[in-house]
Amino acid sequence: MKHLLCTILLGWSFHLASAQDSKLRIIMIGAHPDDCDIKSGGTAALFAEMGHAVKFISVTNGDAGHMEQGGGALAKRRRAEAEEAGRRLGLTYEVMDNHDGELLPSLDVRLDLIRRIRAWKADVVISHRPVDYHPDHRYTGILVQDAAFMVMVPNIAADTPPLTKNPVFLYFQDHFTKPTRFQPDVCVDITPVIDKKTDALDAHESQFYEWLPWISGYKGKIPAGKQERKAWIKQNRWPSLDSTLRAGLGKWYSPAQAEAAHYAEAFELCEYGARPTEKEIRQLFPMLGTE
């Protein structure tokens, strides 16, 4: 077993070294058709601007996330919103056909995700922690965790060729504290692309201007004008950097760069994927500051 693990790690390092002059392949997996945009839209935009291949996956179709619409009509609307958000970010957006609010960490869904991660030939996979208020978020996190090692096992989902190296798996940031707090292992300054991220969220009109204001009790506070709505998202979704994110930026950027940042996204390393060194993290996240 020790020999096998060493072989896996060496294989991953070799792949990384050989891929330095080619595209990185990033896949971000959310529970709903807006989760990836919220948690990692800025980082995704930076990857895409640098020419790397980025895919967002929504594990559910979002067919319950509205106070008036629902079912197939809402799923169709949310898929179209996701596709538009992907266009604005410069990436591929894929929506799976599992019902919103009914997701379970079943074997069938796990195998489906294994196949999709393999087909994308992912270097990096990012998803939810299994610590969250929403069961779909929790179960998406569990599904991706359970897929982490299995993407390399040939006899699992044997109809899709296994990966020859384990990707680096990470978690989106959240604010839940039990049983453990989120740890900002990688922190990305997204200030240069905050408007692009805001544009992506703006594409999800059913969520940011209808459903979320209704369910959270601030429906009357949404401006009417298009540009005013975007300004509202930018101001209210990311009012300021907290001390945790500021400290995280200080690890990866120069003091001047970290101080100049106004917006950031953070990610926690998952122990179930490849365990990169700091140098390898910088190779996988080439938008980070210089050492």
Provide the percentage of residues in the chain whose pLDDT is more than 90. Answer: 86
Burial of 273 (0-12, 13-18, 19+ CB in 10 A): buried
How many angstroms from the chain centroid is the CA of residue 223?
Answer: 28
Q: What is the pLDDT of residues 152-203, one digit of tens each?
A: 999 999 999 999 999 999 999 999 999 999 999 999 999 999 999 999 999 9
What are φ and ψ of residue 103, in 5° steps?
-70, 135
Mean pLDDT along residues 261-268? 96
For residue 238, name the pLDDT band (cuts at 50, 70, 90). Answer: confident
How far is the C-alpha of 202 from the C-alpha of 226, rounded, in Å?
9
Q: What is the pLDDT of residues 108-144, one digit of tens each?
A: 999 999 999 999 999 999 999 999 999 999 999 999 9
Name the nearest CA neighbour of 25 among 88, 110, 91.
91
At 240 the pLDDT is 75
Instruction: Give the contacts of 215 (CB within 8 A, at least 6 positions apart).
Output: 67
Instruction: Give the contacts of 250 (CB within 8 A, at least 6 positions apart).
Output: 258
How far is the C-alpha of 212 from the C-alpha of 38, rounded, in Å?
13
In Å, how far are 81, 85, 144, 232, 284 from 115, measured between CA atoms? 25, 24, 12, 39, 22
State the alpha helices, DSSP H only, in 128-225: 135-148, 194-203, 205-206, 212-216
At 290 the pLDDT is 67
How far is the C-alpha of 274 from the C-alpha of 83, rounded, in Å?
30
At 255 the pLDDT is 93
At 21 the pLDDT is 54
What is the per-residue DSSP string for 199-223? Answer: HHHHH-HHIIIIIHHHHHT-GGGS-
Q: Which residue has the tokens 């922690």?
A: 129
DSSP 155: T
Name the nearest CA neighbour of 28 among 7, 51, 54.
54
pLDDT higher than threshold 80 for residue 289: no
pLDDT higher than threshold 50 for residue 107: yes
How far is the C-alpha of 201 from the C-alpha of 127, rounded, in Å?
18
Which homologous superfamily does the CATH classification assign to the domain defined by 2-284? Answer: LmbE-like (3.40.50.10320)
Mean pLDDT along residues 63-85? 97
Window from 53-62, 96-105, 129-138, 235-244 with minimum mean pLDDT = 235-244
Q: What is the pLDDT of residues 16-63, one digit of tens each?
A: 444 445 899 999 999 999 999 999 999 999 999 999 999 999 999 999
What pTM, to 2 d.p., does this model score? 0.91
Residue 72 CB neighbours (<10 A) = 10
Q: State the average pLDDT for the chain.
A: 92
Q: Which residue has the tokens 């090692």?
A: 149
Mean pLDDT along residues 220-228? 92
